[in-house]
Structures are given as structure tokens and as C-alpha cells.
Amino acid sequence: MIHRLSHACWNLSAAKVLGGLRCVKGKARGVGLLVLAVGLGACAQKPLVPDAPGVAGPILQEVPGLSVAVEAEAWNARPSGLADTVLPLLITVKNTGTRPVTLARQDFALLDQANRQYLPIAAVDVAAMYGGSGSGTAVYPSIGFGGSSGGGSFVGGGLGLSFGSWGSDTRDIIPLALADGLIQPSAEVRGFLYFPRPAPDSQVIRLVAILRDLPGTPQLEFHFRRAE
């Protein structure tokens, strides 16, 4: 069954986030939410691994006309502590069909075992969390949003510190992000999607892709769990 997307609401496995995650539009409103749960996002979490026996590295899914691979724990650029602020997932998409395919970050959503849903954050907003690049000490927020099938909601945030030019240098965040746009036949694109860090109690998460430019294509799911 194909899940239809709308601007007003995503409905994925009973999880809902209304209004396209309006609360992360605008740095002032996003940073203001930190007062609701300071320190939650800064909790150390175990690395994510594929939730399948014998699988390591990227998880690959294929549908007619497209192949998609997703890898966690792949960030090794600047800032070095990016994964303490957001969850970067490396996405590789190849057009195996005969016509161009349009890809957008809005085609993806992250859900945890409680059906809390997290939508991708624009790369420019992720870079803005650090307040710019350069040496010195940077203070950055970690924000998570989601809804559950029981009607409740989740908002989390935290503050972290990074010291030195490597830790606060944001120059790689935007260039390494997954670009929206057309993928030509036989072409491959690769880049990171940046998600709010899942709630600290999230032991299992799944990335869901609904490819709106390929009507009739079932949604793709990529399952990860915390390493033991």
C-alpha cells in the first residue's frame, strides 16, 4: 500500500507530525525550545548498526528504477562532534531507470520504536545551530520532535560544548548534505540527511522513504538498532 504525503500531515505507521515540522523553521523558535528539556539531547548513546543478522555497513533497498543505500555512523568530517547534535545518515541514491527522478529530503522520515517521528533538518539550519565556524568554544542545541499514535508528543533538547577549530568548524555540513533535485538515468547522488537525535530511550529506529516521483512504488524502510 502506498502512503500518500500531504503538506499538512505525514501519517507513517500511526505516527504524526503536523505542519511539516513548523517548530524547527527559524533559528529563534528552535533554540527557544531548549528551555523545555535542557540536557536531554546531550546524553551519550550507543552507535547505530543495521538491525539484521550478518549485515554491516550500508543497508541497500531496490525498487524498479531506483536503488537506495543508507549508512549510520558514517560522519567523519567537520564538525567532528556533529553526531552529538543531530543524527547524520549517509544516503546513496542511484537512478537505475530510464527517466530522471526528483529526490527531496521531504521524501524521508525517521521513526523510533514508540512511533515518534523526526523529519530532516535543512543543512543550513544545522550549521546555524553552531553559530558559525572558527576556533574557540561553541554552544549548540540538540532538538528532537515527534508524535505518537496515542496522541502524546515528544520534544527534547540539549546543550553541548565543542572546543577548538575542528569541533566547531561547520564548513562540511552544507556541502556534504544530500542535494534535492533531479537524478538523471544511471546517475548516482550521495549525501547526508540530518535528523533530530532520537529520544534517549530509542533502541530501534527506522528510516522510511516515500518516493513521490515514482508513483506506485512501495515505501522503503531501513531498520537500525543500538549496538550492544
* Interval 67-112: pLDDT, tens: 999 999 999 999 999 999 999 999 999 999 999 999 999 999 999 9
β-strand 48-50 against 188-196: which pairing, if any?
unpaired
* Interval 11-42: pLDDT, tens: 343 444 433 333 333 444 444 333 333 344 45
CB 102 within 8 A of CB 117: no
CATH of 9-52+59-226 given 2.60.40, 1.25.40, 2.30.29, 1.20.120: 2.60.40
CB 226 within 8 A of CB 72: no
* Interval 146-200: pLDDT, tens: 444 444 444 444 444 444 444 589 999 999 999 999 999 999 999 999 999 999 9
> How big, in percent rounded to 5, are the helix, strand and coil portions of the chain?
15, 40, 45
Query: What are the residues whose beta carbons fall under 8 Å from the beta carbon of 133, sequence distance 6 or more?
Result: 127, 168, 169, 170, 171
CA-to-CA distance for 159 and 51, rounded, in angstroms?
Answer: 29
* Interval 41-63: pLDDT, tens: 456 789 999 998 888 899 999 99
Kindly state the cell numbers that stand for 98.
530510464
In which order are the strands placed within the sheet that holds 86-95?
Answer: 59-63, 66-71, 86-95, 188-196
Radius of gyration of the chain (CA): 17
